[in-house]
């Protein structure tokens, strides 16, 4: 099931890469050489940047599907988080350039040529990007993959930016020239906000930080173990998130006279209960200690 979801996410990321880059190139060419619109050019750059983000996620998912080997004992799950971080850095870099161009336009507004044709191009890009983005967002909920969710938000953001570009070009056609620069700046701020949030999330996972959802799951695992009458207490729960899955350790206190066979049985029962409630947990290593 997990492999099927990854394969679907992989294909979606691949399709999105080519679609967004194509839309971006068309908008940049028209924005730079025909309409002279900063917002349309910025949106085109944003589209290509988002296409590159999708490409990075695509490559990350290709590594993600590899099984564990002699070099990577825990598999390639964290490649997905690394891909998220790299994609976010690219997004922020592009946003800074867009902000620079937008500020220049605000300080020295230039008239837009053929704004309505540009608005039609941006509208087509908005419809395609929003359709792809919301579809991928629904899929990301099932896969629980951070990079897929980032890519979905990124594509939705791209569609929203295209919609704002439509508004800017229509306003520019009515003589409100600063609309072009304002929308370009708004697009840059949106990109930076999403980018920093993604860097924070992926960085936490890469250094095995456990907060938010991870803390809640740790508490629940402890409660699950303590519900078994053979377990006197659950002392230590350590969880680490890799991509969409969790791996962890659990230390339980049992009676001095418990046999290895009995312990293996209770360990199996605890693991089965944990994975039944939390299917995203791939493995929990359970160790026993007796009261000193």
Domain extent, residue 228, equals 213-289
Say if residue 157 is in the same domain as residue 240: no
- Short-list 13, 31, 217, 57, CA closest to 114: 31
For residue 292, pLDDT beyond 70? no
Six-digit token string for 54? 């999708």
Say if residue 105 is in the same domain as residue 248: no
CATH number at residue 127: 1.20.1510.10
Say if residue 115 is in the same domain as residue 169: yes
Average pLDDT of the residues in 31-56: 81
DSSP string spanning 27-76? Answer: HHHHIIIII--HHHHHHHHHHHHHHHHHHHHHHHHHHHTSPP-SS-TT-S
Residues 6+ apart with CB under 8 A from 238: 210, 218, 248, 249, 250
Say if residue 183 is in the same domain as residue 97: yes
Global pTM reads: 0.70
Say if residue 185 is in the same domain as residue 228: no
What are the helix and strand counts (H, E) for the chain?
8, 3
pLDDT of residue 133: 85
| pLDDT tens digits, one per residue of 167-223 | 988 998 888 888 888 988 888 888 788 788 888 878 887 877 777 778 888 888 899
pLDDT of residue 210: 75
* Residue 109: other Cβ atoms inside 10 A: 16
Last residue of a domain, one of 188, 206, 224: 206
Say if residue 184 is in the same domain as residue 116: yes
- Short-list 241, 112, 251, CA closest to 168: 112
Say if residue 19 is in the same domain as residue 153: yes
pLDDT band at residue 265, thresholds of 50, 70 and 90? Answer: very high
pLDDT of residue 1: 44
| pLDDT tens digits, one per residue of 79-118 | 777 877 887 888 788 889 888 888 988 888 878 888 888 8
Say if residue 184 is in the same domain as residue 238: no
- Number of structural domains the chain divides into: 2
Six-digit token string for 10? 């992989």
Say if residue 24 is in the same domain as residue 8: yes
| H/E element, 260 | helix 260-277
Say if residue 40 is in the same domain as residue 116: yes
Last residue of a domain, one of 206, 231, 256: 206
Say if residue 161 is in the same domain as residue 242: no
Last residue of a domain, one of 206, 234, 249: 206
| H/E element, 242 | strand 233-242
Say if residue 14 is in the same domain as residue 148: yes
Could you tell me the end-to-end alpha-carbon distance of the chain, in angstroms, rounded to an integer?
44
Which has the higher per-residue pLDDT, 261 or 76?
261
């Amino acid at each position: 099931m997990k492999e099927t979801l990854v394969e679907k996410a992989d294909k979606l990321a691949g399709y999105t890469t080519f679609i967004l880059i194509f839309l971006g190139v068309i908008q940049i060419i028209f924005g730079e050489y025909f309409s002279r619109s900063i917002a349309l050019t910025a949106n085109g750059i944003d589209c290509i940047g988002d296409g590159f983000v999708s490409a990075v996620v695509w490559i990350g998912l290709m590594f993600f599907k590899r099984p564990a080997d002699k070099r990577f004992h825990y598999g390639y799950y964290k490649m997905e988080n690394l891909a998220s971080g790299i994609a976010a850095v690219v997004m922020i870099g592009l946003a800074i350039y867009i902000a620079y161009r937008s500020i220049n336009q605000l300080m020295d507004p230039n008239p837009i040529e053929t704004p309505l044709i540009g608005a039609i191009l941006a509208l087509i890009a908005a419809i395609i990007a929003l359709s792809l983005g919301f579809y991928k967002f629904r899929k990301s909920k099932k896969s629980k993959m951070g990079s897929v969710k980032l890519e979905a938000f990124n594509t939705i953001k791209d569609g929203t930016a295209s919609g704002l570009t439509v508004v800017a070009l229509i306003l520019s056609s009515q003589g409100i020239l600063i609309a072009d620069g304002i929308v370009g700046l708004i697009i840059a701020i949106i990109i930076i906000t999403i980018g920093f949030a993604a860097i924070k999330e992926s960085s936490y996972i890469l250094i095995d930080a456990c907060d938010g959802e991870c803390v809640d799951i740790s508490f629940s695992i402890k409660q699950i173990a303590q519900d078994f009458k053979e377990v006197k207490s659950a002392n230590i729960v350590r969880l680490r998130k890799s991509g969409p899955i969790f791996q962890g350790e659990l230390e339980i206190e049992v009676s001095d006279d418990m046999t290895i066979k009995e312990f293996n049985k209770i360990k199996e029962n605890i693991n089965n209960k944990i994975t039944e409630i939390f299917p995203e947990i791939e493995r929990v290593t359970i160790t026993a200690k007796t009261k000193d």
